[in-house]
Structure 1
Amino acid sequence: MPAGRSPRGHDDPFIAPPTKDLTRVLTADEHLQLNVHQHPMVLWKPVALLAGALALLVVVLSDNRLPLLVVVIVLAALGNLAWRVYERRHNSFAATDRRILRVEGVLNKSVPMMRLQKITDMRLDQPLIGRFIGYGTITIESAGQDQAVRELAYAPNPTLVFRRLNS
């Protein structure tokens, strides 16, 4: 079955097209059940940083001067936001019929995984704002002490993702 398609042939919003890094680690007989990117809310810090830098720029421009340091701060904040958006698009959380994986990193790649048999418990947490705009944190517990995949922060549509993981 092609990635991103449900068994009935309809597009599945919970299976994003797999990145090359995810495709490389999937076995031939493994079926992708879930592949999601973090909710855009994960970008709130870089957006806030850029907003602060732009506010500083407006204050400085009101004095009819433009120090180079302010321009550098705005460009750095904009570059940081662009990098985080790029990184978010390349990182994902996936589940197959055998294991759970997390693809992390753009330059330095990491793909921690956990076999489904090792999962002992899962928890869904949603802050108030997360309930309104659709994100939450899914925590996965296993019998072992050191867990390769423990948490999916800023999970999109967390109740539906949680339900998919439990099925």
Structure 2
Amino acid sequence: MPYPDKLLADDEEVVRHLHPHWLTVLRPVVVLLLVVGGVSFGAALVPAGPQQGMIRLGLVLVAALVLLVLVVVPLLRWRSTHYVVTTHRLLFREGILARRGRDLGLSRITDVSYTQTLWERVVGSGTVTIETAGDSGATVLRRIPDSDGVQQLLNHMIEEDADRRAQENAGYMRGDDGSAPGGWYSTAVL
């Protein structure tokens, strides 16, 4: 699913769109399998009789509630969390019903680092820490897939953004046609 174009500027392109690492959804999938298996086994153990249907219905309702809280909500939270690197900024969006987001201009980022535990190295995950100019403090992104690659990509994009800005400033200083701004004083005789 491409990131919504309405959030991007005219000359901005998505470079990388990430969700939290897939291990984030491993626990909900295991819970799903255990609950479905347990309820199926429990329903088979219910003795025959007039209350059998009500007991099985009760088991299904309890299982549905457990699945909603322990499976559906974490899966929706994972799916609705976006880390997007563009040519101009880094965007974070998260939340199912209430949304929260933050945009960091690449020009404001002063340092990008990553850390990985041994387990995170094995599964290809990690934590990316982004320092920015200003008083907002560090932004910490946990459970990022390919965290070292994301750190390298961000550093590369920061350099490209600085180069692009320098070229735009140089173009502004020269004027659109390559002459000095204003034109009339560029030919002045000293």
Provide the TM-score with structure 1 as the length reference: 0.70
Higher helix proportion: 2
**Is 1:38 the counterpart of 2:23 in the alignment?**
no
> Which residue of the other structure, out of 131, 137, 150, is the alignment partner of 1:161?
150
Listed as ranges, the gaps of 5+ residues in structure 1 are: 1-15
Q: How does 1:4-153 map to 2 (within 5 A)?
A: 17-18=2-3, 20=4, 23-47=5-29, 49-50=31-32, 53=35, 57=39, 64=46, 71-80=60-69, 81-147=71-137, 150-153=139-142
Report the Cα distance in structure 1 between the residues aligned to 2:26 and 2:65, rounded to whole angstroms. 16
Report the Cα distance in structure 1 between the residues aligned to 2:148 and 2:10, rounded to whole angstroms. 29
- Secondary structure at the counterpart of residue 114 of structure 2: strand
Report the Cα distance in structure 2 between the residues aligned to 1:79 and 1:43, rounded to whole angstroms. 14
How many pairs align?
148
Stretch of structure 1 that moved more, 46-55 or 111-120: 46-55
Instruction: Quote the RMSD (CA, aligned, Å).
Output: 2.8
Report the Cα distance in structure 2 between the residues aligned to 1:77 and 1:139, rounded to whole angstroms. 34
Report the Cα distance in structure 1 between the residues aligned to 2:60 and 2:43, rounded to whole angstroms. 11
Report the Cα distance in structure 2 between the residues aligned to 1:53 and 1:146, rounded to whole angstroms. 43
Listed as ranges, the gaps of 5+ residues in structure 2 are: 48-54, 157-190
1:137–1:154 CA contact under 8 A, matched in 2: yes
Change (3 A) 1:77 1:29: same
Change (3 A) 1:76 1:127: farther
Higher RCO, Cα 8 Å, sep 6+:
1
Residue 124 of structure 1: CA displacement?
A: 0.8
Larger radius of gyration: 2
Report the Cα distance in structure 1 between the residues aligned to 2:89 and 2:151, rounded to whole angstroms. 15
Same amino acid, percent of matched pairs: 26
Change (3 A) 1:128 1:67: farther
Report the Cα distance in structure 1 between the residues aligned to 2:113 and 2:94, rounded to whole angstroms. 22
1:101–1:111 CA contact under 8 A, matched in 2: yes
- Secondary structure at the counterpart of residue 28 of structure 1: coil
State the one-letter code of the partner of 1:46: P
1:46–1:77 CA contact under 8 A, matched in 2: no
1:37–1:155 CA contact under 8 A, matched in 2: yes
Report the Cα distance in structure 2 between the residues aligned to 1:143 and 1:85, rounded to whole angstroms. 34
Residue 27 of structure 1: CA displacement?
A: 0.8
Change (3 A) 1:156 1:54: same
Report the Cα distance in structure 2 between the residues aligned to 1:26 and 1:73, rounded to whole angstroms. 44
2:88–2:106 CA contact under 8 A, matched in 1: yes
2:43–2:56 CA contact under 8 A, matched in 1: no
